[in-house]
Amino acid sequence: MLFHVEMKVCFPHDMDAERAERLKADEKAMSQRLQREGVWRHLWRIAGQYANISIFDVESPAHLHDVLSQLPLFPFMQIEVRALCRHASSIHDDDR
């Protein structure tokens, strides 16, 4: 099932630069693994913001929470989740 997730990253200004880079690299690696596994189905940057809009394809809300809460940037993100479902007018098979 699909969930619409917005993530906004808010680093503290006094964060150690090296730690921030390592966190971002870890986040990218985990994000790409989840994309390859089909869990993180879409990932877009919101223009002008350190934020993304994503579509997750998971087995349950619990699955979604496990995935999101293990992201390396989770402690630094404001996350908003909305449940999606198939639209009666959609003709795209995978807009489930």
Do residues 74 and 4 make contact, with C-beta atoms less than 8 angstroms apart?
Answer: no
Among 16, 19, 21, 44, binds a copy of itself (CB under 8 A): 44
Shortest Å, Cβ 34 to a copy of itself: 10
Shortest Å, Cβ 21 to a copy of itself: 14
39: CB partners within 8 A, 6+ apart: 56, 57, 58, 67
Contact between 18 and a copy of itself by CB under 8 A: the answer reads no
Could you give the angle at the alpha carbon of 73 between the alpha carbons of 67 and 79, nearest 5°?
A: 65
Among 16, 21, 26, 95, binds a copy of itself (CB under 8 A): 95
